[in-house]
Structure 1
Amino acid sequence: MKRRDFFKNGLLTTAGISILGARPILANPSQYRGEKAKNIIFLVSDGMSAGTLNMADILMRHKLGKTSNWISLYESNTVRRSLMDTASANSFVTDSAAAGSAWGGGHRVNNGALNIGPEGKLNEPILQKFKAEGKAVGCVTSVQITHATPASFCVNQSSRNAMPLIAEDYLKLKFDVMMGGGREFFDPSKRSDGRNLFSEFSEKGFHVVNNKEEMLLASGSKPVLGVFSEDGLPYAVDRENDPELKKNIPSLAEMTKKGIELLNKNNKGFVLQVEGGKVDWAAHGNDASAILYDQIDFDEAVGVAMDFALKDKNTLVIITTDHGNANPGIFNPGPKNIKFESLFESKASNQWLLSQVKTDTSVSQIIDMVNHYLNVALDKEEGSQLLKSFTLGDNGLYNTANLPVETFGKILSKHNAVSWANTNHSADFVELAAYGPGSEELPGFVKNYELHNFMLEVAGVSRAKFA
């Protein structure tokens, strides 16, 4: 598949708000069906720095001739825009567990914790609250469904790393839709206790789906658990360039569309969290191809959510990130932006490409690989530097758990014009946008934990019930 056709005919075009120069249908507060939101769709591009949003929009405008959904919403004044402080209880710089728990539990917690405060207090997660109100609830993500951000809306755990236990928590909670990666936490051959959670979920009345076709066929007569890969899902750029992956692994937009379809069967409404988790992973890896196309993948999910909300007129949509990460940006893009435009033809993530390098790969071979998959011509010195950066594992092969991603990102910066400040989270204030009933009440600056009560109030749920 040619990179210039990437997402050209995807779900991005269905929202009606992505054509360059066009504006989405405006909806005034008076056009909502009521003052309270029946449904909430909470979209998180995990680890999205402002530069990530900016670069993805530039790529879409100049490669695809489309404005990103997110920026189009700003251009048309369709959403209420705000800034959000993302600190945790013990640091200016949050991790995803603490950031998500601020939204999920209404209080700041220490980094690494899930809805358990510094003094040990358990804060009831927001999806449990909405489920108790009779709403259908769920999460979809491009990383493990047991990962920090989806878990932060669902469970109490002292450590985000307790993913086998989080999978067990989901079994007890019996939420309506849970989809993403993380097969290793359900598979008896991967779990240290040998439990077959797939079987246990089925026995408890879940419809367990393992690929895109099975997901699309789900009727919603049962709660749905969808686990489509070990670890996180593939990066979007890798999925789109591998026919087998594209056939079996749903995009975030496809999961979002199906999640809305299933949850919307509940006449009391629904709450859905959508996470573009691999944006954060790409930022940690200083991977320009991965971060840009996963941000576009997330933007397609924004389009799906907004398409539903504009028609439904009874749904609050929140679009944000939990923290910045690596603070990438475009610097010195070259004459006619030729360096940055090399990313228009990317066919793989840095992570995937580096995992193909073997101990007998030569400098000329790695130069050829980078040229073919990333549209970048390394010189011999750069190719040699990259090869020397690999480390050997105990088996005498390159250690795939410790690939030289940061070195590769720095080398590529000279060629694709994307530079990085770091490989970790930042304390930046982040973008926050809202559309739908109650969105007009969103202040221009909020602290992350304030969104918890904001969502309860907008949905007409009494906070006193959970005091």
Structure 2
Amino acid sequence: MKRRDLFKGGALAFLGGALISPYDTIAGLAPKQKLGKTAKNIIFLVSDGMSLGTLNLASMLLERKNGKTSNWLSLYQQQGKVTRALMETASANSLVTDSAAASSSWGGGVRVPNGSLNVNADGSENMPIWQKFKKAGKSAGVVTSVMATHATPAGFCVNSKKRSDEAGIAKKYLELGIDVVMGGGLENFDAKLRKDKQDVFADYTKKGYAVCKDRQSLLAHTGVKQPVLGIFYEDALPYAIDRASEKELAEKVPTLAEMTKQAIATLSQNKNGFVLQVEGGKVDWAAHANDTPAALYDQIAFDEAIAVAIEFAEKNRDTLVVVTTDHGNSNPGLYYGSKADKNFDRLQKFKYSNNWVLNGIGKSTSASQLIERIEFAQGYAIKEEDAKAILKHYEKLDEEGLYNPYKLPYKQYAQIQSEYTSVGWGGIQHTADYVELAMFGPGSELLKPFVKNIELHNLMLEATGVMV
């Protein structure tokens, strides 16, 4: 079977700088060897906060539903076609990294403290890798399912002491001339939502960008040689499972795969090549909430973007594709029991995330109404005492957790839900697990079986022959 055939009818159908020379010998690079071909392009795909369990569960869900494994694991089944490694993910000040430091390790080639973007503890800065490639004449872009100004895309592009300065990062992208910027985060671009009332959309338009605010305008941009700013939602984009169940959302918000395809179509018009980072950012958000359906279906949406990247790389053999995550999060798994298979298969028919369920109830919701809402959204009926226990939190919202500003009872709901799915979670935070890393295309032969995150910076420079 030809590798390109693996992606036909698969997951795509499921949901609708360090100052060191890149040529210096460093740990993590294979012994110096002559490359078969220099990479002209790089597509770097990151499923943010993806524990190995998330990858496993999403692939099993796909296989049990439509008989095809994930595109990521399909690559592994083709021996000799993909180089695979484990990656250590620490930051400068912790064994457990945040996304800013993790992305900066790739972006700047140096481990920085959690919370900062390519800024060292002493205040010095490391040039981000997308800036290096811009200086070499390549086009550069970032695509994400969360805010376009969030930590992971920003780590490849900008320097900032605080990852939280997303309003400032929106303007830095323009100053740097990042050619494609796509995701959510209207509040960082729209004059009505920004604190300083600056119309950043207008600033991009003045610099010649096509500004897209919905799916249709983005899809209409195909083949146009023009930089693109695509901001489609306030805050992060909706979870993939919720988007698929809401006609209005599906019409307004593009999928990660669609954004990836449009980004490649724009960037690939540069004869000098391009570099693109694609982030499945809401996999991490779902893991922080122990939201099983959100995590698995967003992982599947990310997997669809992998298929887009591989399809392009199959046709353009000068393209290096990197597929990985920046860190683990909460370590989900399918746990043994007499009903484990039957319970897990329930996820095939889920319509909505736990986030959708919990944000649609309040103090006035009755136990029977909550039971009915869950049965509609996810196909099972919880016990009355469990419904009452969930609703008790709404009397005084008190649960903690990152990306949980309303303190909704995500963790407790996940514990109750595990009785019906057999999926359990190890916590609600990032982990220090070594993570999966796969490479396909020219430059992948440089990868050793075990690397530190910072080593990918120089590997990408060497693979492309860029020396800055």
CA contact (8 A) 2:363 2:395 kept: no
1:382-440 deviations in Å (ceiling 9; x for gaps):
111111122558xxxxx972211111111111211110110000000000000000101
Paired residue type of 2:257: A
Distance apart, 1:319 and its partner CA: 0.2
* Aligned residue identity for 2:253: I
Task: Quote the Cα distance in structure 1 between the aligned partners of 2:170 and 2:277.
Answer: 17
In 2, the alpha carbon distance for the partners of 1:378 and 1:335 equals 16
- Tell me how far apart the structure 2 counterparts of residues 37 and 13 of structure 1 sit (CA, whole Å): 23
Q: Are the counterparts in 2 of residues 16 and 307 from structure 1 also a CA contact under 8 Å?
A: no
Which residue is 1:415 aligned to? Answer: 420
> Which amino acid in the other structure matches residue 299 of structure 2?
Q
Q: Tell me the distance in 1 between the aligned counterparts of 2:130 and 2:6.
A: 29
Structure 1 contact 355–400 (Cα < 8 Å) conserved: no
* Aligned position for 1:406: 411
Task: Quote how far apart the aligned CAs of 1:17 are.
Answer: 8.5
Aligned to 1:435: 440
- Show the counterpart of 2:328: 324
TM-score normalised to the size of structure 1? 0.90
- Which residue in 1 is equivalent to 2:121? 118
1:17–1:72 CA contact under 8 A, matched in 2: no
Aligned pairs for 1:372-411 within 5 A: 372-392=376-396, 401-411=406-416
The superposition leaves residues 163-202 of structure 1 with CA deviations (integer Å, 9 ceiling, x where unpaired) of 0110111121121111000000111111111101111111
Q: Which residue of 2 aligns with 1:8?
A: none
Asked if 1:371 corresponds to 2:363, the answer is: no
2:45 alignment counterpart: 43
Q: Which residue of 2 is the match for residue 249 of structure 1?
A: 253
Kindly report which structure 2 residues correspond to 1:448-463, keeping only aligned pairs within 5 A, or say none.
Answer: 448-462=453-467
Q: Residue in 1 aligned with 2:292?
A: 288
Correspondent of 1:446 among 416, 440, 451: 451
Cα deviation, residue 360, structure 1: 1.6
Do 1:333 and 1:416's aligned partners in 2 also have CA atoms closer than 8 Å?
no
Match of 1:206 among 194, 206, 209: 209
SS in 2 for 1:35: coil
Contact 2:340-2:421 within 8 A present in 1 as well: no
Aligned with 2:74 (options 72, 75, 99) = 72
1:424 aligns with 2:429: yes
Matches within 5 A, 1:5-16: 15-16=7-8
Counterpart-to-counterpart distance in 1, 2:287 and 2:338: 23
When residues 183 and 305 of structure 1 are mapped into structure 2, their CA distance, relative to the original with a 3 A threshold, is: same
Question: Against the structure 1 CA distance between its residues 244 and 333, is the aligned structure 2 distance closer, same or farther, given a 3 Å change threshold?
Answer: farther
Matches within 5 A, 1:256-335: 256-332=260-336, 334-335=338-339
Partner of 2:54: 52
- Contact 1:186/1:198 (<8 A) preserved: yes
**1:233 counterpart residue number:** 237
Corresponding residue for residue 338 of structure 1? 342
The 5-angstrom pairing of residues 133-172 of structure 1 reads 133-172=136-175
Distance 1:15 1:202 in 2: 37
Query: Identity rate of aligned residues, in percent?
Result: 52
Q: Distance in 2 between matches of 1:391 and 1:314?
A: 58
1:275 and 1:302 map into 2 onto residues whose CA distance is 11
CA deviation string 1:319-364 (max 9, x = no partner): 0000000000001354371111111111001111111113221101
The question of whether the paired residues in 1 share the 8 Å contact of 2:362 and 2:394 is answered with: no
Q: CA–CA distance in 1 between the matches of 2:213 and 2:138?
A: 25
C-alpha distance in 2 between matches for 1:216 and 1:303: 18
Q: Distance in 2 between matches of 1:332 and 1:412?
A: 15
SS of 1:370's partner is helix
Shift of 1:205: 1.3
Q: Which runs of 5+ in 2 are unaligned?
A: 12-34, 398-403
Alpha carbons of 1:257 and 1:459: their partners in 2 closer, same or farther (altered >3 Å)? Answer: same
CA distance in 2 between partners of 1:270 and 1:441 (Å)? 20
How many angstroms does 1:242 deviate by? 0.4
Task: After superposing the two structures, state which structure 1 stretch, 89-98 or 216-225, moved more.
Answer: 216-225
Which of residues 364, 370, 376 in structure 2 aligns to 1:360?
364
| 1:178-189 superposed matches below 5 A | 178-189=181-192
SS at match of 1:113: coil
Shift of 1:14: 8.4
For 1:435, the aligned partner's letter is F
Aligned-partner SS, 1:82: strand
How far apart, CA to CA, are the structure 2 residues paired with 1:400 and 1:135? 39
Q: Secondary structure at 1:81's aligned position in 2?
A: strand
Is 1:60–1:67's contact at 8 Å kept on the other side of the alignment?
A: yes
Tell me the distance in 2 between the aligned counterparts of 1:114 and 1:385: 41
How far apart in 2 are the matches of 1:18 and 1:83?
A: 26
Amino acid at match of 2:47: S
CA contact (8 A) 1:49 1:327 kept: yes
Distance in 2 (CA, whole Å) between partners of 1:121 and 1:342 is: 51
Q: Which runs of 5+ in 1 are unaligned?
A: 1-11, 20-32, 394-398
How far apart in 2 are the matches of 1:13 and 1:208?
A: 35
Determine the C-alpha separation between the residues in 1 that align with 2:145 and 2:160: 21
Alignment correspondent of 1:94: 97
**Alignment correspondent of 1:6:** none
Q: Which amino acid aligns with 2:281?
A: G
**Matched residue SS, 2:329:** coil
Q: Which moved more, 1:427-436 or 1:76-85?
A: 76-85
Give the SS at the match of 2:328: coil
Alpha-carbon distance, 1:34 to partner: 5.3
Distance 1:206 1:253 in 2: 21
Across the two proteins, how many residue pairs are aligned to each other?
Answer: 435
